[in-house]
């Protein structure tokens, strides 16, 4: 498993260096939102795994639906002439910090319970 992660990372780095690639401003915003959605879902997935409540279908659906919703809001904002990027990114950043806080609490409680059993 680790071998696949490392080989994928090295392949991505090599392709990023070799292949020239430009991202337009609108695509930069969409890419940033997708990265924020990914971080949010990863933190909530790790938290669910630690609580033994992880479901793969829920994890993938959360990522897909959050991605569609955030990109859709940006698209509708562009159609209406509004810049909703700031609002959507702010909400996603709050969600990332909220899920990170839940993850830290879960880790601390898990470690505290393990130490009390020893």
pTM: 0.74
pLDDT of residue 118: 52
Distances (CA, A) of 116 to 14, 51, 103, 109: 47, 18, 20, 11
pLDDT of residue 68: 92
Contact indicator for 70, 88 with CB cutoff of 8 Å: yes
pLDDT of residue 56: 87
pLDDT of residue 94: 95
Contact indicator for 40, 66 with CB cutoff of 8 Å: yes
Q: What is the chain's pLDDT, residue by residue, as a tens digit (118 residues)?
A: 678 888 988 998 898 888 877 767 667 888 888 899 999 999 999 999 988 998 889 889 999 999 999 889 888 988 898 888 888 889 999 999 999 999 999 999 888 887 765 5
Question: 35-44 as b/e, with b when 16 or more CB fall inside 10 Å?
Answer: ebbebbbebb
pLDDT of residue 97: 95
Indicate the burial class of 47 (C-beta count within 10 angstroms; 0-12, 13-18, 19 or more). Answer: buried
pLDDT of residue 117: 57
Indicate the burial class of 117 (C-beta count within 10 angstroms; 0-12, 13-18, 19 or more). Answer: exposed
């Amino acid at each position: 498993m680790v071998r696949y992660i490392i080989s994928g990372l090295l392949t991505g780095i090599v392709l990023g260096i070799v292949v020239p690639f430009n991202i337009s401003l609108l695509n930069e915003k969409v890419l940033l939102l997708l990265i924020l959605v990914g971080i949010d879902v990863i933190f909530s997935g790790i938290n669910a795994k630690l609580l033994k409540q992880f479901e793969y279908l829920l994890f993938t659906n959360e990522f897909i639906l959050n991605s569609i919703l955030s990109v859709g809001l940006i698209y509708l904002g562009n159609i209406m002439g509004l810049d909703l990027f700031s609002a959507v990114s702010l909400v996603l950043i709050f969600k990332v910090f909220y899920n990170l806080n839940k993850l830290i609490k879960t880790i601390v409680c898990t470690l505290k319970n393990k130490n009390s059993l020893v």
